[in-house]
Amino acid sequence: MFIFTTKKAKAGYLILALFPFLLGANMIDSGKIPIFNAFTGKTELVEKVHKSAAEWKKILTPEQFKIMRLKETEAPFAKLCPMPPKGKNGIYECAGCGTDLFRYEEKFESGTGWPSFWQPVSELNIKLTTDSSHGLHRTEVSCARCGAHLGHVFDDGPPPTGKRYCINTLALKLVPMPADPQKAAFGAGCFWGVESAFAQVKGVEKTTAGYMGGALKNPTYEDVCTDKTGHAEVVLVEYNPQAVSYEDLLDVFWSIHDPTTPNRQGPDIGSQYRSVIFYFTPEQEKIARALKEKLSKSKKFKKPIVTEILPAKEFYPAEEYHQKYFQRRGITPTCHIPKNLSR
């Protein structure tokens, strides 16, 4: 009888039960099994991993081979379990095949000398079998994909599961979770070209054309074009700070427009086309002001820089036909970004 401790566990068992019926006998014949991907949150059908002892010895260290393939156990307190940087999370994967096994946030200090977790990322990713070796009655935990011995599970863990998955350190490989996307917002003229420029930047995950900075709620394009709402045409940029810095985004911003023309970019005239940076954090404000001052002192522009630096206000996405305007119409982007930042 299964005991479901979380909604994810219930979903995992349900998927495991239904997969053969949904996908047919080919799943079994092909050697594929359902495995939960902790990074995408999706269950995927993957090939089981089969290797000879000689092949495993080429991948694993001698110690890992003894533990993961010969089912030996490392001495308690002998190894230091890797941890992600402070304030960050990560996933412990199988050191043999890379299957996601446990979350760092579900790790606890058991005092036993081995890494302990109160639940796996999914019941799909592990296999539990009775282990009567050494005159003991235990439940072995192994990797569902490659069969590697990981450790044992006991019924003396903390809530909410009451389980303690006692795992060998050498059987685990820590992979940091990607940083949460951060937001930035820039106004540099017509948002069609601005959006197409930032969409080309490595590390930018999403761009949305829209309106910010005015008083009118839920403005339309027609409203903003009256030049009476106070809104600017902007692009909301969601980016991975581990792949691209805020300073890099500002370099793109300065390079794709003329920051010396108030309320105008080329033929587009009106306050909605003003040069503006909307910051979401004090750190963004500090960086933006410092780089603006540095750029002013560089004398790159003959006229004074008039770019506004303001706290972010409510963002209103523009109408759907404005999104990815150039891309949808096969128009070559008109704004050129620094080559070192291009995808």
Tens of pLDDT along 292-341?
999 999 999 999 999 999 999 999 999 999 999 888 888 876 665 665 66
Class for the domain spanning 7-176: mainly beta
Catalytic, out of 143, 190, 225, 335: 190
| Domain limits, CATH 3.30.1060.10, in the chain | 182-341
Measured between alpha carbons, how far is residue 115 from residues 4, 104, 151, 155, 340 in Å?
23, 10, 10, 15, 42
pLDDT band at 191 (very low <50, low <70, confident <90, very high): very high
Tokens, residue 24? 């047919």
Q: Is 166 a catalytic residue?
A: yes
| Domain limits, CATH 2.170.150.20, in the chain | 7-176
pLDDT score recorded for residue 73: 96
pTM above 0.75, yes or no: no
Catalytic, out of 143, 166, 225, 335: 166
Q: Say whether pLDDT at 9 is over 70.
A: no
Q: Is 225 a catalytic residue?
A: no
Nearest to 234 by CA among 258, 198, 252, 209: 209
Mean pLDDT, the chain, whole residue set: 88
In the chain, pLDDT over 90 holds for what percent of residues?
A: 76
pLDDT score recorded for residue 85: 83
**45-87 pLDDT per residue, tens:** 999 999 999 999 999 999 999 999 999 999 999 999 999 887 7
pLDDT score recorded for residue 338: 62
pLDDT score recorded for residue 208: 96
Are the CB atoms for 91 and 104 separated by under 8 Å?
Answer: yes
Q: How many other C-beta atoms can be found within 10 angstroms of the C-beta atom of residue 285? A: 17
Q: State the Rg of the chain over Cα.
A: 27
pLDDT score recorded for residue 7: 45
Is beta strand 308-311 parallel, antiparallel or unpaired with respect to 275-279? parallel
| Cα distance between residue 235 and residue 187, in whole Å | 7
Q: Which fold has domain 182-341?
A: Peptide Methionine Sulfoxide Reductase; Chain A (3.30.1060)
